[in-house]
Amino acid sequence: MQESMEPSDVVSPMDNPIIRAIVEHTRHRIGVLRAEAMLYEPLPYVLAPRGLVESVRRARRKRGFGLIAEIKPASPAGTLAHITPHEAAHLAHTMQEAGACAISVLTEPEVFCGSLASLKLVRGRVDVPVLRKDFILSALQLTEGYQDGVLLIASLVGGKLPQLVEQCHRLKIEPLVEVRTVDEAGAALDAGARMLGINNRDLATLSVDLSTTLSLAPLIRDMDEDVVLISESGIRSVADVRTVVEAGVDGVLVGTALMQDLPSLYESTHRLVHAMEAV
Tell me the pLDDT tens digit for each residue of 68-100.
999 999 877 767 788 999 999 999 999 999 999
Q: Computed from CA positions of residues 51, 56, 273, 103, in that sequence, does the dihedral angle turn out positive or negative?
A: positive
Report the pLDDT value the prediction gives residue 205, as an integer from 0 to 100: 87
Q: Is 22 inside any structural domain?
A: no
Distances, alpha carbon 264 to alpha carbons 58, 246, 251, 271, in Å: 26, 27, 22, 11
In this structure, is residue 163 part of a structural domain?
yes
Residue 9 has pLDDT above 70, yes or no: no
Report the alpha-carbon distance of residue 174 to residue 50 in Å, rounded: 9
Residue 224 has pLDDT above 80, yes or no: yes
Q: Where are the alpha helices (DSSP H) in the chain?
A: 17-39, 52-63, 85-97, 116-125, 154-157, 161-170, 182-190, 211-223, 238-246, 256-259, 265-273
Would the pLDDT of 8 be above 60?
Answer: no
Model pTM score = 0.89
**pLDDT band for position 44 (50/70/90)?**
low
Q: Model confidence over 109-166: pLDDT tens digits? A: 988 999 999 999 999 999 999 999 999 999 999 988 789 999 999 999 999 999 999 9
- Establish if 38 belongs to a structural domain: no
**How far is the C-alpha of 84 from the C-alpha of 90, rounded, in Å?**
10
Are β-strands 102-106 and 66-71 bridged in parallel, bridged antiparallel, or unpaired?
parallel
Range of the domain at 260: 50-273
The whole-angstrom separation of Cα 148 and Cα 143 is 12
Greater confidence (75 vs 106) lies with 106
Q: Containing H/E element for 230?
A: strand 228-232
Mean pLDDT of 213-230: 98
Q: What is the CATH number of the domain that holds 121?
A: 3.20.20.70
55 — pLDDT class (breaks 50, 70, 90): very high
Task: Dump pLDDT digits (tens) for 179-220.
Answer: 999 999 999 999 999 999 999 999 888 889 999 999 999 999
Q: Is 209 part of any domain? A: yes
Task: For residue 27, tell me if it sits in a domain.
Answer: no
Total of domains in the chain: 1
CA angle, residues 138, 139, 142, in degrees to nearest 5:
110
Residue 141 resides in a domain: yes
Residue 26 lies in a domain: no
pLDDT at residue 11, as a whole number: 62
Task: Answer whether residue 84 is part of any domain.
Answer: yes
82 vs 161: CA distance, rounded Å? 33
